[in-house]
Amino acid sequence: MKKLVVITGASSGIGESIAKRLSDEGHPLLLIARRVERLTALNLPNALCEAVDVTDKQAFSAAVAKAEAQFGAVDCLINNAGVMLLGQIDTQDSDEWQRMFDVNVMGLLHGMQTVLKDMKLRKTGTVINISSIAGRKTFANHAAYCGTKFAVHAITETVREEVADSDVRLTTISPGAVETELLSHTTSDEIKAGYDSWKQDMGGVLAADDVARAVSFAYSQPQNVCIREIALAPTRQQ
Ligand code: NDP
């Protein structure tokens, strides 16, 4: 059997597609999200499904320990869980900023701290962090979201340098617009409508599996090849 992969936010969208693809490739999986019933409904073989909020580091670590007891050491962590709550700086509720930083940044740090110590000791392993084109360029109404995704780039590159001597790889995947549930959590109907017409104007967006293929490509390279970053977007996206 292939080695254990941990995927956060596997209950919908990009994470769900990554789970299906890596399962097809033969990996045992630890699938993490709050909606555990959506994880179990995927019905993937050799998949431990755990209801974990990534902002809870203890729960994250406990789920990883449980999976390792069943399937052996984690070979790859895919930090995919994220929230995007768009809003204007003068009106957005600061709780929404807090939630984005807690999930998109703190959740990702929790995941890395949980697996990297052991990966460094074993001198192998891969961490793939899902950022965004919004981690490379800015968009109106995305102030805090862009802040979290620029942080993901900075954190990933910093940690990549820290662990390179241990042959552990860090990869950033930066998708453009993808059809998922991500936009649905934004509370402003006006901003949601604007985002929808932006997607229509560019003639459609990526499918979640387009991103899953990029993840699989990066992970399947030999361990001495580190794909540092992949940015992919709809061809017409600016
Ligand atoms: P979805 O909303 O479809 O999926 C988000 C996933 O994150 C869900 O599985 C959700 O599970 C999980 N999640 C959210 N909060 C938590 C939490 N506190 N603890 C654990 N899991 C959590 O969106 P996408 O698939 O689009 O998003 C996946 C990643 O891709 C995100 O990091 C997003 O920023 C990034 N991205 C998306 C783009 C897009 O256009 N869709 C473009 C660029 C990047 P649950 O609610 O069950 O906990």
Q: What is the ipTM of this complex?
A: 0.99
Question: What is the pLDDT at residue 217?
Answer: 98
β-pair partners for 33: 51
CATH of domain 4-232: 3.40.50.720
Q: Give the binding-site residues of ligand 1, using a 6 Å CB cut-off.
A: 8-15, 33-35, 53-55, 80-84, 103, 130, 132, 175, 177-178, 180-182
Phi, psi of 210 (to 5 degrees): -60, -40
Tell me: the pLDDT tens digits for 195-232? 999 999 999 999 999 999 999 999 999 999 999 999 99
CA distances from 69 to 20, 119, 122 (A): 22, 16, 16
- Residue 8 to residue 80: CA distance in whole angstroms: 5
Read off the pLDDT of residues 73-114 as tens digits, 9 standing for 90 and up.
999 999 999 999 999 999 999 999 999 999 999 999 999 999
Token duo for residue 208: 């979640």
Give the pair of three-digit tokens for residue 130: 């899902």
Residue 10: which pLDDT band, with cuts at 50, 70 and 90? very high
pLDDT score for 219:
98
Q: Which residues of 66-77 are buried (b: 16+ CB within 10 A; e: fewer)?
A: ebbeebebbbbb
pLDDT of residue 116: 98
Amino acid at 212: A
| pLDDT in the model for residue 174 | 98
Comparing 26-30, 65-69, 78-82, 200-204, the range with the smallest average pLDDT is 200-204
Residue 1 reports pLDDT greater than 80: no
Instruction: For ligand 1, atom 39, name the residue with the nearest CA.
Output: 178
d(CA 219, CA 77): 10
Q: pLDDT class for 161, splitting at 50, 70, 90?
A: very high
Mean pLDDT of all residues in the chain?
A: 97
Per-residue HEC secondary structure of 147-206 comes to HHHHHHHHHHHHHHHHHHHHCCEEEEEEECCECCCHHHHCCCHHHHHHHHHHHHHCCCCE
Instruction: In whole angstroms, give the CA distance from residue 230 to residue 211.
Output: 10
Compute the average pLDDT of residues 132-153.
97
Query: Distance from the CA of 121 to the center of ligand 1, in angstroms?
Result: 30
Q: How sure is the predictor about 170, in pLDDT bands with cuts at 50, 70 and 90? A: very high
